[in-house]
């Protein structure tokens, strides 16, 4: 049985002389791993470039022949072709960060069309926008927590400190070290529930942006234990100063 699906690549590993094992988050069935044959070599049927991280694909999925065996991915084609990201260094750095963050946090093997739509629409926005996207990594990281199940509660009057352990704002410092001071807490509050095209209205300098990125990643690590060993955000902090 063969089904047509679409998804974005998270990771690909060479297997044998001409094949790849590719991890893809699909719109239809969540996180899946596929075998792709004939990717390299003279008689290659598919270009290896199609399986770079954060490439959006449409393809045919062949059913498993045995329990615990891999499905096969065939007839891949681009779902979306990037217009600017490969040519703009800052955007490329952001895409690498997104790829690493998603590969560490997406573990669901069930359908989540809302999550897929969020990632797709966000990345297309980044690709098409010409300027004022420096806050995009903050928006994406914070909004991703909505789909992972621990999006922060909007603060009420008097709640000026963000308790990262509880995922809510409080008026008194909690008895643990995982909370933000007033300034970063106020900035997180301003970012909450703000649409993507209004991110630029939150004016931040490079130091504030880097402080918030570190804080949000700490928040994600507290609630998504898979997030360990991230490195791309350090490069991102340099290029988006």
* pLDDT tens readout for residues 122-146: 999 999 999 999 999 999 999 999 9
Domain shared by 144 and 52, yes or no: no
* Inter-residue contact 21 to 70 (CB < 8 Å): yes
Domain shared by 118 and 211, yes or no: yes
Q: Kindly tell me if the per-residue pLDDT of 58 is higher than 90.
A: yes
Domain end (from 78, 93, 118): 78
Domain shared by 147 and 43, yes or no: no
Q: Kindly tell me if the per-residue pLDDT of 102 is higher than 90.
A: yes
Exposure of 130 by Cβ count < 10 A (0-12 exposed, 13-18 middle, 19+ buried)?
exposed
Model confidence pLDDT, tens digit, residues 180-224: 999 999 999 999 988 999 988 899 998 999 999 999 999 999 998
Domain shared by 17 and 56, yes or no: yes
Domain shared by 126 and 227, yes or no: yes
Domain shared by 65 and 97, yes or no: no
Domain end (from 78, 93, 128): 78
Domain shared by 146 and 43, yes or no: no
Domain shared by 122 and 186, yes or no: yes
Pairing of strands 30-36, 71-78: parallel
Domain shared by 167 and 233, yes or no: yes
Rounded distance between C-alpha atoms, residue 219 and residue 207, angstroms: 18
Helices 136-148, 206-223: inter-axial angle, 10-degree rounding = 20
* Structure confidence at residue 65 (pLDDT): 46
Angle at 105 between CA 200 and CA 184, to 5 degrees: 40
Q: How far apart are the first and last CA of the chain?
A: 50
Domain count, the chain: 2
| pLDDT > 90 fraction of the chain, expressed in percent and rounded | 70
148 versus 16: the higher-pLDDT residue is 148
Q: Kindly tell me if the per-residue pLDDT of 29 is higher than 50.
A: yes
Domain shared by 97 and 39, yes or no: no
Domain shared by 37 and 95, yes or no: no
Place of tokens 């069309």: 113
For the whole model, what pTM was predicted?
Answer: 0.91
Exposure of 195 by Cβ count < 10 A (0-12 exposed, 13-18 middle, 19+ buried)?
exposed
* Structure confidence at residue 231 (pLDDT): 73
Task: Find the domain containing 220 and state its range.
Answer: 85-239
Domain end (from 43, 78, 113): 78
Q: Kindly tell me if the per-residue pLDDT of 226 is higher than 90.
A: no
Domain shared by 74 and 90, yes or no: no
Model confidence pLDDT, tens digit, residues 145-191: 999 999 999 999 999 999 999 999 999 999 999 999 999 999 999 99
* Inter-residue contact 3 to 28 (CB < 8 Å): yes
CATH code of residue 104: 1.20.1440.120
CATH code of residue 59: 2.40.50.140
């Amino acid at each position: 049985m063969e089904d047509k699906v679409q998804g974005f690549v998270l990771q690909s590993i060479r297997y044998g002389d001409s094949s790849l094992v590719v991890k893809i988050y699909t719109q239809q069935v969540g996180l899946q791993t596929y075998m792709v044959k004939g990717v390299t070599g003279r008689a290659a049927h598919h270009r290896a470039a199609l399986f770079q991280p954060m490439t959006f694909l449409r393809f045919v999925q062949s059913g498993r022949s045995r329990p615990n065996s891999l499905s096969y991915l065939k007839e891949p084609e681009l779902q979306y072709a990037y217009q600017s990201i490969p040519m703009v260094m800052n955007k490329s750095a952001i895409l690498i960060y997104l790829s690493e963050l998603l590969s560490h946090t997406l573990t669901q093997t069930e359908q989540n069309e809302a999550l897929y739509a969020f990632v797709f629409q966000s990345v297309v926005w980044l690709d098409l926008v010409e300027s004022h996207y420096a806050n995009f990594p903050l928006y994406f990281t914070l909004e991703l927590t909505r789909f992972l199940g621990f999006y922060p509660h909007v603060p009420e009057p008097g709640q000026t400190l963000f308790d990262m352990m509880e995922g809510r704002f409080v008026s008194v410092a909690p008895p643990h070290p995982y909370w933000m001071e007033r300034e970063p807490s106020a900035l997180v509050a301003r970012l909450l529930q703000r649409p993507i095209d209004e991110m630029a209205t939150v004016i931040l300098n490079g130091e504030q942006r880097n402080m918030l990125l570190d804080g949000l990643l700490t928040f994600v690590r507290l609630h998504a234990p898979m997030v360990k060993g991230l490195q791309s955000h350090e490069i991102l902090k340099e290029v988006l100063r």
